[in-house]
Structure 1
Amino acid sequence: ETKIKENDLIYFITATGNIPEVMRQMRRKDKPYKKIIIAGGGNIGMLLAKKLEEQDYQVKIIEIDPNKTVALSEYLNESIVLLGDAADKELLLEENIENTDAFIAVTSADEANILSSMLAKRLGVHKVMTLINRPSYVNLVESDVIDVAISPKQITISTLLARVRSNNVISAHALRNTISEVIEIIAKGDPETSKVIGKPIKDIPLPKTSYIVAIVRDEKIIMEHSDLVIEQDDRVIMMHRLFY
């Protein structure tokens, strides 16, 4: 009887092809982005602008370092390179920030990214995406002001989690709140050698902080129920709280 409330953080397990329908049910569909402003002309901003312009987006990139703007102008073909401070209100207004679909802040300074993103949102940009290197900042700033906070360290953690565990772990992802992770494990062995194969979930001893939420069997997702029996080669999806 769980009821979903506004601003709840919800995690779904679904087939890839069903993602658009799930998103449609949960929120209004955003119109396709066309006009993008990128704050920061470092490696991330430069490569992002290149990829976007190759896909026919209208890209403007703001960089405060004159030397970098020269390099950007030589590297990019279609993007407009602007010399200035992305937190300059007058500059953003001159570049029609209110008619821009997305503002993406990817400088090397968290504070600059946060401030410029908040300003852009206040001036009317549709969506704000902000690169934040300190994971502790992510939960603090992702709100109605900053739509998407991206932490490279959390992405790295997800990659490392899968590598440091046993060979049966095929993927592991640290969730955004950093206190939980989702682990996907292949059930190997047989009822004689395995502690889980051939047993219903209710009989599998798990720590209080761990829950089996679903299994993938023959490319079909089966949601957890207490009588569900784990079979060989099932992909078991578990959620694990790092703190209890």
Structure 2
Amino acid sequence: MPEVVYSNLKDGETMKVVIVGCGKIGRSILKNLTEEGHSVCVIDRDPKVVRSIGDDYDVMCINASGTDIEALKRAEVSSAELFIAASANDDANMLSCCFARSLGAAHTVARLNDAEHYTDADYIKRCLDISMIIDPDRLTSQAIFNTLKFPSAVRVESFTRHLFEMAELCVKPDSVLDGSSLAALRDTTNADFLICCILRDRKTYIPDGSFVLKAGDRIGLLAASDDMPKLLNRFGVVKKSAKNVMLIGGSRIAQDLAERIAKSGHHVKVIEKDIDRCHEVSGTLPRSVSIICGNGSRHELLDSEGIDNTDAFVSLTGIDEENILSAFYASGKNVPKVIAKVNQAGFVDISGKLGLDCVISPSRITADIVTLYARSLSSSAGSSIETLYTLMDGSIEALEFAASASFTKQGVELKDLDTKPGILIAGIIRGSRTIIPKGSDAILPNDKVIVIAAGERLCDLSDILQ
């Protein structure tokens, strides 16, 4: 998570941004930042990528290397508030950030893919004066691991010190949730929780107590971390704990995820078709991890390796189409939890429509982190954004703000706040205490405030007010 940063921008002011490297991740960052209204210049050495970006976006495009000083000058890096090096080459990213900073870029972000580089991230930031380092593989591994903790959830995100968790769930036919109003659920459940957003038939709702759930809805459930397992059990959506996990592909994401799963005491099997990569991965993982050399897209191999007895199946190859097809096969074998890694935005949307509930996109995860950082640059020094997640296929944002003196409505009961339409104050963290707020509650100094926003770009806690 990025540290809090301050700039000379006025609250909500747009920035000049330069992005180097517009592959899947760079392009996703570009999409987010142009939608935020920022002025973006793109530098990429592949002429096909530059032409494609120029056709799809109204941005300046330069066909050059990100370490080309003249190209950086043409991009007017000296006046850039934010410079992002997002290519697949760590050394080039670090060098281009170093050049950009020396030319006058105010803040720099470097994507690093090598585990050794990430281990030395603090040292690299200090030496090269890089503002922020992002590692898409580690971010993706953590997101998948969080979801595996609650196999019934499509995804799980956490807020300050994991005190609050947000779970996206699909309402199944004839479940406790199907046909229940939110008020009735609250009355029959001891735990404190809030269903704060709902996606139904591609339309998003921030519901009140009278809203009645139905099968097919996707809901956003916010609760204290200790209460989440009890709530899922109460709602009848608990699936068997993922004690046996099968990973397809020996990528760095798989390597990091396998280590996390093994450390949690569960069994994990990694299937990778490249023999050299198998030896490389096996040398870094605990002995309890099984490494199988074979083609994970072959159904015969999956059957022989016990997919029928697998609790969770995660497809992590570098090919989106292969991951989707393998995930559909695992779903057809009734594996309780199936996750597919998909980077291309079009495939992410199509997969959900075709019935794959859980699709993880490294490009979206990374773009959300960069968007959070960009928002923090244009927020006040007082009520800065600490966490940002996009929910419900990108139609809702869940944000966590640190409240301080810049928020002038402290101590005012929530029912008396004149908030904008599409805004919900969903949770408050006060020290180590979690609060699902009622109208009589108020925001106090040093609170962490969780806000749900539909159709609003929030940079500061005060932005929730009319």
TM-score, normalised to structure 2's length?
0.46
Q: 1:54 deviation in Å?
A: 4.1
- Structure 2 counterpart of 1:237, from 450, 456, 464: 450
Structure 1 residues 136 and 204 mapped into 2: Cα distance closer, same or farther (>3 Å)? farther
TM-score, normalised to structure 1's length?
0.82
Q: 1:136 deviation in Å?
A: 4.4
Q: Judge which range, 104-113 or 159-168, deviates more.
A: 159-168
CA distance in 1, matches of 2:326, 2:279: 22
Matches within 5 A, 1:188-199: 188-189=404-405, 194-199=407-412
Contact 1:53 1:59 in 2 (8 A): yes
Q: Alpha carbon RMSD of aligned pairs, Å?
A: 2.8
Structure 1 residues 145 and 8 mapped into 2: Cα distance closer, same or farther (>3 Å)? closer
Higher relative contact order (CA 8 A, sep 6+): 2
- Structure 1 counterpart of 2:321, from 99, 111, 124: 111
Letter paired with 1:156: T
Matches within 5 A, 1:116-195: 116-142=326-352, 145-163=355-373, 164-165=375-376, 166=379, 167=381, 168=383, 169-189=385-405, 194-195=407-408
Q: Report the equivalent of 1:29.
A: 238
Question: In the alignment, does 2:251 pair up with 1:49?
Answer: no
- Structure 2 counterpart of 1:223, from 426, 437, 452: 437
CA distance in 2, matches of 1:232, 1:74: 50
CA distance in 2, matches of 1:81, 1:186: 44
User: What 5-or-longer segments of structure 1 have no aligned partner?
Assistant: none
Letter paired with 2:347: Y
Q: Report the equivalent of 1:212.
A: 425
Secondary structure of 1:115 counterpart: helix
Contact 2:218 2:392 in 1 (8 A): no
Question: In the alignment, does 2:293 pair up with 1:83?
Answer: yes
- Structure 2 counterpart of 1:9, from 218, 226, 233: 218
- Structure 1 counterpart of 2:267, from 58, 78, 84: 58
Structure 1 residues 143 and 194 mapped into 2: Cα distance closer, same or farther (>3 Å)? closer
CA distance in 1, matches of 2:298, 2:330: 10
CA distance in 2, matches of 1:80, 1:178: 36
CA distance in 2, matches of 1:74, 1:236: 44
Contact 1:52 1:59 in 2 (8 A): yes
Structure 1 residues 211 and 47 mapped into 2: Cα distance closer, same or farther (>3 Å)? closer
Contact 2:312 2:336 in 1 (8 A): yes
Contact 1:35 1:59 in 2 (8 A): yes
CA distance in 1, matches of 2:349, 2:455: 16
Structure 1 residues 202 and 45 mapped into 2: Cα distance closer, same or farther (>3 Å)? same
Q: Report the equivalent of 1:40.
A: 249
Secondary structure of 2:394 counterpart: coil
Q: 1:105 deviation in Å?
A: 0.7
Q: 1:115 deviation in Å?
A: 0.8
Secondary structure of 1:2 counterpart: coil
Structure 1 residues 47 and 237 mapped into 2: Cα distance closer, same or farther (>3 Å)? closer
Letter paired with 1:132: V
CA distance in 2, matches of 1:115, 1:203: 52
Contact 1:127 1:147 in 2 (8 A): no
CA distance in 2, matches of 1:15, 1:49: 27
CA distance in 2, matches of 1:31, 1:57: 13
CA distance in 2, matches of 1:207, 1:224: 17
Secondary structure of 1:10 counterpart: strand
Q: 1:137 deviation in Å?
A: 3.3
Q: 1:229 deviation in Å?
A: 4.3
Letter paired with 2:246: I
Q: 1:210 deviation in Å?
A: 2.8
